[in-house]
Amino acid sequence: MSNPDNPNISQRSTPQWALYQRELFWAPNEAKYPPFNTHPDKLRETAKERLSQSGWHYASCNAGLSWTHYANRQAFYRHQIIPRMLVDTTKRDTATTIFGHRVSAPIGFAPIGINRIYHATGELSPAKVAGELGLLYCLSSAGSYSIEDVARANGDGSPRFYQLYWSPDDAVTLSMLRRAAANGYSACMLTTDTWQLGWRHDDVAHGNYAFYHEHGAGDLGLNDPALLNRLKEAKLDPTDPKDKFRVGADWIDTHIWHGQSFSWDRVPWLMENWKKLSGGKPFAIKGIQSVADARKAAEMGVDGIVVSNHAGRQVDGAIASLDALEKIADAVGDKIYIMYDSGIRGGADVFKALALGAKFVFVGRLWVYALGSGGEEGVRHVMKSLLADFDILMNVAGYPDLKGINRDALNSMPKGAYFPSTTEMA
């Protein structure tokens, strides 16, 4: 396996992630074993076994019949990597920058809410691991732990983003942004595809909506002074167990997934206020799938977009996010910072998204399944494995640096009519 004294170690600015493979191969000699198999299908099964029914359904559910989820995965199969031989990969490195911040790889933790239903440590575990590995972490405003506690867990080594579900109550919106800016979040990411949750059959069948039940509003909401004022006006006491479910419902129904949509004409107000509160930090929009919307964002001066369909959890039967990425990158790739989300399961997927025009990718279900399967240790294992997979791929495929990963690195088959052999896909 990789020589632990190989020359690449001294040539690169990040750890040689590939050595994690060697570490795991050697581990049985010391009676050490990984917490689970990181193959996405097997990890999915492990998560199903270890999570509660409510945690499993919320992690795995897709919108409708899962056609968009399937399209996301199918789109990756259409693009095939072209390996290059006899390329010097001794100076291989995965480091990059995002909005001026150096990170150890173009891979970040996607914003995912209510992490406490997967593991008691909730968002604290992925935030901590992200800080350790030098990766970007993004906190969801539907999170379990507070903006402040997550920032402390994340530490000062890496950038972190705050993902905003936009409350119709300006006081609550501004309060959340103020807290994020005060706690070192280096960008605001507005999610635009989830004014309310998509129709997810298993969640509906089991009444699986954690904010209405045992989870309640969570610390992120309950530590917000503007929300506390609103609860007082509504004569709801967040410290009274009898009010817990109603407090949770008020938070989620009024301020997070409230069903009220915003339009482009309100974006300048939000962007201006974030930049004022944060001292000019970047503002990005998540959920872009059309070229027209991407152009609009660029014209308005938005700093970045995340090409995402919410991992197939919002609109069933929609375009694959990777197919959207191709068109959007062609249209505005030189005008705005493009990030990608939806369907990433391995190093090859990261490579393909970068080759098609993304500068950065987010992973979601991988680390959520890992959190539910093994807590902090599980998150660390799956992310180190993904980094090793990507690092090894760059080595064996002959791509020593990120700038060489472009359209020329792919053989892309024409689009066709694809039908699933199974809907049981990680």
Helical spans, DSSP H, in 195-266: 201-205, 218-222, 225-233, 244-251
Which one-letter amino acid corresponds to residue 21? Q
Give the C-alpha separation, 209 to 244, whole Å. Answer: 14
The residues annotated as belonging to the active site are: 310
Secondary structure (3-state) at 247: helix
Neighbour-count burial for 38-64, b at 16+ CB within 10 Å, e otherwise: bebeebbbbbbebbeebbbbbbbbbbb
Looking at residue 399, its amino acid is Y
Q: Contact at 8 Å (CB) between 123 and 148?
A: no
The closest alpha carbon to 320, from 352, 289, 358, 287, belongs to 289
What length does the chain have? 426
Among residues 187, 166, 405, 195, the alpha carbon closest in space to that of 304 is found at: 187
Which residues are registered as beta bridge partners of 340?
A: 307, 361
Cβ atoms of 196 and 257 within 8 Å: the answer is yes
Q: 95 Cβ partners below 8 Å, 6+ apart?
A: 12, 13, 14, 102, 103, 104, 105
Return d(Cα 283, Cα 300) in angstroms, integer: 11
